[in-house]
Structure 1
Amino acid sequence: MDDQNDSVLSEQIRKELLKRYKKIDDEVLNYLIEVVNLNKDDFESVDDIQDAVGSILMELNDGKNADQAVNDLCTKFFEILNPEGAQKGLNSNSNGTIKQLSAPIQIATSEMNTNNDKQVESMFNLKKENITYVDARKLEKAEAKLKQKLEKRENKPVINVLTYDSSKLASASQAISRKAENQDSIANKSFDICIENFDVAFGNKSLLAGANLTLAFGRRYCLIGRNGIGKTTLLKMISSHQLKIPSHIRILHVEQEVHGDDTLAIDSVLECDEKRRSLLQLEKEINEKIHSEEHKNDTSLNQELEKVYQELEAIEADKAISRAAKILCGLGFSTAEQRKATKEFSGGWRMRLALARALFAKPDLLLLDEPTNMLDLKAIIWLENYLQMWHGTLLIVSHDRSFLNAVAQEILFLHNQQIEPFRGNYENFLKIRSENLKNQQREYESQLEYRQHIQVFIDRFRYNANRAAQVQSKIKMLEKLPELKPIEKEKEVHFKFPDVEWMNGTILRLDEVDFYFSKERYIFKNVDISATMDSRICIVGENGAGKTTLLKVLIGEYEPKKGFRQTHRALRLGYFTQHHIDGLNLAFNSVEVMQEKFPGRPIEEYRAELGKFGVAGDMALQPIVSLSGGQKSRVAFALLSMLNPNFLVLDEPTNHLDMETIEALGEALNKFGGGVILVSHDERLIQLICKELWFCRDGQVKSIEGGYDQYRKIIESELEY
């Protein structure tokens, strides 16, 4: 009986929806029916229905009276579900008459209104073909809400989607042209990629609108742009095929670290070549049959085996092991480490394994997101040279200027919701863009002057009867001129660390310090180093050389096994590490994170501190999960600044920061009144601030005369290609 009643209710809801939205997508229609019908016992008022489906219905309404239409429809739903108590579910005054709300209660609308009208229209235009009537993100949000209610009924734990699954926040839509549809035809097997007229959003924020992306096979593209503008999201939309890519193109996105198990590192790389693995398995099966009594006279098996050998030879299977070993060696794995199980490696080294697997697999399109973050200089230089010989298509997100100059054949500049291509490397991009901006400014000023000249004539002779025809002609001329838009300059990023009082003499010192975790292997021995308030010291060396361990001895987290650590009595250390970023509560916004770490202070103080590191306006109120890696780093810097340190110790502070932010960080560190010691592989930051360079190697910490240039020469002389 209940099933029959549900069927009747579903049909009534369907009729109401179809009556109002004749072109509604079937998937959206069925979903709305399911949400309303399944939650009928929870709906105590019209407002409850609006909370559940109001935002979706608003997307379906593009008329002037959308608020009223949604309110009326939700009221009708309530009457269908609860005909006897419908009147109680309506908002009424003391006289019992129906009180009409001025607007439906919306969850998402307020966020959407923060975007300009043009952005919203381009992302959710109902008239655009091949695009769903409702943004996929909103459906997923409604689905998560429905799932939470159902799980509560069954007493199951509810998982916060915002906290644990940020991938569902991103969505993409694309107007598919006939040209794009033909890319998958049998006759067309081109490996060029052309994605036209597509939109990408993260939640309610439009990242790309009506953008185009063209990738010619065999070229190396580097995608650049400010933090939070959508670079990583775009890579995910491509790799997940939410943007249409020809099906015959093999895509590999290096995004997640290799799963740790008993598989050896070199075997983990070899097994990603599926064709080689299947051929070797087939060879084994055929050989077993040949040596069995049942098939000993079967001559066809020998012919089949010969074909397998020919295919193995064609893919150079005999060279696979040496090629895998060469890639692993270039990325820093010693011969002994290549024979270790993957579970024995840390997360950073498993990411290197993921990169090694991708390079070995040779996909048609390789997507790399900040590949240099996990690499030391030796591995970065090796990767630069390896990628210069890459035969497929490369699309790389990177903020390493030196790496971009070495690898990029074309720069894709993501800004203003568009992708603008520039031929050449990063330095060439800077020159061309600077010249373009100057030309645009000159053109703008010229047009403005011309408009003003015409306007002066109009104003002067507007009431002169003899010049009436000329004035009208000038007015029409002015109306026909293209819209005059000033040059949009990107907002500059500024960092500001707190002011500190000067302290004379040595602030931090290690005297004849030894440190080890096991006596069989010293991390470093007999280290003598010191720092003052004006120190700008950079520690370099290969991964595993003990740089981070040295920092932890300097800050007092590790006690020296021998020797002494001495500090100034007024020392206040600020220690930055990537683990601080990973530890941020993703469900909180930036202000709430500050409140959690430093409770009891005015909201204005938290906002002011965040503003010193570029986390201002709406960004400060966005959940941490929706921020990019670079924006999370800014929040971590603001937390560090709240400690009011007079000496900074920074471990890889530039990971995920865009180039403008790296420049801002360098400038802020130079202005900071206290001392600075950092571990970094970013050439630009080191060149900006470094006064001393400490080189960690073979248990020693030595100062390098000649700075970073001399260090790079040392590393390049040791590389084997």
Structure 2
Amino acid sequence: MIQLDKVHLQRGIKVLFNNADLTIHPGQKWGLIGANGTGKSSLFKLLTGELHEDAGHCKIPKYWKISHMAQEVGTSQQDALNYVIDGDAELREVENAIENSQDDGQQLAKFYGQMEHIDGYTAASRAQRLLVGLGFSTEDESRAINDFSGGWRIRLNLAKALMCRSDLLLLDEPTNHLDLDATLWLEQWLQSYDGTLLIISHDRDFLDNVVQAIASLENTLICSYVGNYSAYERQRAERLAQQSAAHSKQQVRIAEIEDFVRRFRAKATKAKQAQSRLKELERMEKIAPAHIDSPFSFRFPEPEKIPQNLIHLSEATIGYKTEDGDVPLASKINLGILDSTRIGLLGHNGAGKSTLIKTLANMQPLLAGDRTEGTHLNIGYFAQHQLEALDLEASCALHLQRLNEKASEQEIRNFLGGFGFQGDRAFEGIRHFSGGEKARLALAIVAWQKPNLLILDEPTNHLDLEMRHALTLALQAFNGALVVVSHDRHLLKNTVDSFVLVDDGKVTAFDGTLEDYQSWLAAKDQQVTPTSSQQALNPSASDDSPADKNTDKKAQRQSAAAQREKLKPLTNALKKLEKQIDQLQSKLNQVEQDLAAPKLYESGNTKLPALIKEQSELRQSIEE
């Protein structure tokens, strides 16, 4: 097991841990949370041996294989598939040993045995499954690492970490660059992982569905909570609710959520979605005290004017242009954005969600059809590329002042304070800001312009849990329209009241909850249809089964004959398969008989490698 006993760790003048204790048993799945700078990444480095405790003891079994998701983005001409396979270091060692033992029969036999023991012959197919699950196409497998953007290289790092057959898996923000589909796939993969898991994540729904305990870094200590993130919130809320100093602030926050519940209840039209949404909002009321000490508290200012009709797409085609012509992603789109619209966009990666977002934001032209805007439309558009467009030499305050030169310094200070830029921090250059700080500034710039339509593309990337919670509350209170793409299910459940699906070249309303969408994804991926063998097991489902119980015996015989005729191809295929297995088994018996010959293992015998390889291939063919 992992055990931290009275650990003290200091980086420079900052004390991260002081008498910190933590015990994690084998096979447990833990979530690691805490404000930025409290030591989450440093704890990972303690476990991997990159850092050493200044006092106390950090114990971890010496024989454990540790897999750690790298955050840095390297450059390489290596193809994606082999990059992921490199995650299985033991496999690469065995492959190298086989290559260097061609003249030593006994050693070669040993290493081929190891290759089979570690399931090395299926490495490529295992790596391919990881890549597909994380959103890569078949063509991507042969592309060089350098051909991918930074976000996709991080996905490759994640796949490489999952490829390792580890005892301890350390994941630092694994969902940060994933879309919703890939997040759901990763969630299922981790649920079936049988090693010990420690995750740093700001995705509360992801933590809820994966971990069974929370380690919260608080005031140089590691506080352990039994249960998932929601259980942690409830326990912390109960503790903080007893502190009278925070009582009045709690009541204000709860009143705001209750007001949003009333507004939603009044306009809810779809019973299933309404019931699911109200349940989420009621839960938010209960856990509100857990976030009273959050450093973030902001609102989107009241829009100056809100026209009823904001944007309308009519018979629209979205996509992108290339030198070879237009590439449409979805067509015949009829979509209206009203002042009361609050929609979340769903769909597979590459289906066109971001393209639709850009089209609505007027950042990308339609390929066909019409886009009309209402008078006084004021769009607040947030996307990840806007972080790169920030002026690194300017301060947060200067970014806002450029948009409104009449604003006073105190007004700007007050506004930025809600986004966590307190005191002089608001007047420092942003060159050394973290990704999370830049994302907060980009959101502040959007809010500062008083939009009446918010169009947000993955707004929670780089944001910690407290900032995500503050953003959720701000979007609830926003008195305008909202269109959002996000892999953060908690944000979607608590800020939108309907979903739109972008899939198969169409943009349609999705009448269901996020749980329904997950079921839809599973059904679409599997595309399960009844086979003739299934019909044989369930004759009542067959078109040839008698509809009338009083059918005479002749009709029954005809029906049975027809059923046998339908099953004939399956029966013949089964017989052919059995014959092939018998032939393979005979070959395997002969190979194993040849391998029993002592002379085969004499130095310089060239037949041994080929026989061992043939043995492994025959065994694999029989199993398949």
Within 2, Cα distance between the matches of 1:433 and 1:233?
A: 24
Whether the 8 Å contact between 1:332 and 1:379 is mirrored in structure 2 is yes
Partner of 1:471: none
Partner of 1:648: 454
Cα distance, 1:240–1:551 mapped onto 2, change above 3 Å: farther
Whether the 8 Å contact between 1:423 and 1:429 is mirrored in structure 2 is yes
Is 1:280 the counterpart of 2:88? The answer is no
Cα distance, 1:331–1:611 mapped onto 2, change above 3 Å: same
Whether the 8 Å contact between 1:257 and 1:347 is mirrored in structure 2 is no
Cα distance, 1:259–1:492 mapped onto 2, change above 3 Å: closer
Whether the 8 Å contact between 1:195 and 1:243 is mirrored in structure 2 is no
Higher mean displacement: 230-239 or 691-700: 230-239
Is 1:241 the counterpart of 2:56? The answer is no
Which has the higher Rg, Structure 1 or Structure 2? 1
Within 2, Cα distance between the matches of 1:591 and 1:520?
A: 42
Partner of 1:525: 331
Within 1, Cα distance between the matches of 2:118 and 2:98?
A: 15
Whether the 8 Å contact between 2:171 and 2:198 is mirrored in structure 1 is yes
Superposed counterparts of 1:244-643, under 5 Å: 244=53, 249-256=64-71, 259-287=74-102, 290=103, 301-437=104-240, 490-491=293-294, 493-517=296-320, 518=322, 519=325, 521-584=327-390, 589-594=395-400, 601-617=407-423, 619-620=425-426, 624=430, 629-643=435-449
Whether the 8 Å contact between 2:170 and 2:199 is mirrored in structure 1 is yes
Residue 250 of structure 1 deviates from its aligned partner by 4.5
SS of structure 2 residue aligned to 1:507: strand
Within 2, Cα distance between the matches of 1:348 and 1:510?
A: 31
SS of structure 2 residue aligned to 1:677: strand
1:278-298 deviation per Cα after TM superposition (whole angstroms, max 9, x unaligned): 3223323333xx4xxxxxxxx
Residue 237 of structure 1 deviates from its aligned partner by 5.7
Higher mean displacement: 229-238 or 510-519: 229-238
Is 1:671 the counterpart of 2:477? The answer is yes
Whether the 8 Å contact between 1:381 and 1:716 is mirrored in structure 2 is no
| Matched-pair identity in % | 36
Within 2, Cα distance between the matches of 1:223 and 1:384?
A: 16
Partner of 2:4: 194
Is 1:218 the counterpart of 2:33? The answer is no
Whether the 8 Å contact between 2:306 and 2:452 is mirrored in structure 1 is no
SS of structure 1 residue aligned to 2:175: helix
Partner of 1:151: none
Output the amino acid matched with 2:7.
N
1:449-471 deviation per Cα after TM superposition (whole angstroms, max 9, x unaligned): xxxxxxxxxxxxxxxxxxxxxxx
Cα distance, 1:696–1:230 mapped onto 2, change above 3 Å: farther
Cα distance, 1:576–1:350 mapped onto 2, change above 3 Å: same
Output the amino acid matched with 1:270.
I
Within 2, Cα distance between the matches of 1:274 and 1:599?
A: 58
Output the amino acid matched with 1:375.
L
Output the amino acid matched with 2:50.
H
- How many residue pairs align between the two structures? 474
Within 2, Cα distance between the matches of 1:493 and 1:365?
A: 34
Q: Which 5+ residue runs of structure 2 have no aligned equivalent?
A: 246-289, 528-624
Query: What is the CA RMSD across the aligned residues, in angstroms?
Result: 3.1
TM-score by length of 2: 0.69
Whether the 8 Å contact between 1:194 and 1:215 is mirrored in structure 2 is no
Output the amino acid matched with 1:394.
L
Residue 679 of structure 1 deviates from its aligned partner by 0.9
Within 1, Cα distance between the matches of 2:422 and 2:73?
A: 36
1:370-398 deviation per Cα after TM superposition (whole angstroms, max 9, x unaligned): 21222233322221221123233221111
Residue 225 of structure 1 deviates from its aligned partner by 2.8
Output the amino acid matched with 1:342.
I
- The structure whose RCO (Cα within 8 Å, separation 6+) is larger is 2
Within 2, Cα distance between the matches of 1:347 and 1:240?
A: 27
Residue 222 of structure 1 deviates from its aligned partner by 0.3
Within 1, Cα distance between the matches of 2:425 and 2:190?
A: 36
Cα distance, 1:618–1:254 mapped onto 2, change above 3 Å: farther
Residue 236 of structure 1 deviates from its aligned partner by 5.0
Cα distance, 1:229–1:574 mapped onto 2, change above 3 Å: farther
1:231-276 deviation per Cα after TM superposition (whole angstroms, max 9, x unaligned): 3454456556223566765444324355354322211111232322
Output the amino acid matched with 1:303.
Q
Residue 658 of structure 1 deviates from its aligned partner by 3.3
